[in-house]
């Protein structure tokens, strides 16, 4: 199955679909349309955001640290740090926790 097919059921808003869940972790597919935002939140565990297609900006809200990520680029997300993600273009990502 193609990720794009899995993530196209909704027209707007960030779309999240679980891909895999194991005892100690999980993978989540994410689709963001241009200018959509995953509003501020934090993860209770270390995570990694991998961009498969498109461009997003990951921003940590405590210290203002930003990473602009394109296709096949990733950033680590520390636990308990408030952050948000904004799509500069339509984007497909994988969240690894």
Domains of the chain: 3-96 (2.60.120.10)
Mean pLDDT of the chain: 92
Pairwise CA distance, residues 24 & 73, whole Å? 24
How confident is the model over 9-32, as pLDDT tens digits? 667 789 999 999 998 899 999 999
Distance CA 14, CA 23 (A): 26
pTM (2 decimals)?
0.89
- Alpha helices (H) along the chain: 3-6
**84 band by pLDDT with thresholds 50, 70 and 90:** very high
**pLDDT tens-digit profile of 30-48?**
999 999 999 999 999 999 9
pLDDT reading at 7 higher than 80: no
């Amino acid at each position: 199955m193609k990720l794009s097919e899995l993530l196209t059921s909704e027209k707007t808003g960030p779309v999240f679909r679980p891909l895999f869940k194991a005892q100690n972790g999980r993978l989540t597919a994410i689709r963001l349309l241009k200018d959509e935002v995953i509003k501020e939140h934090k993860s209770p565990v270390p995570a990694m955001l991998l961009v498969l297609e498109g461009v997003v900006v990951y921003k940590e809200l405590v210290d203002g640290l930003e990473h602009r990520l394109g296709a096949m680029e990733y950033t680590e997300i520390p636990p308990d740090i408030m952050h948000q993600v904004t799509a500069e273009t339509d984007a497909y990502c994988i969240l690894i926790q």
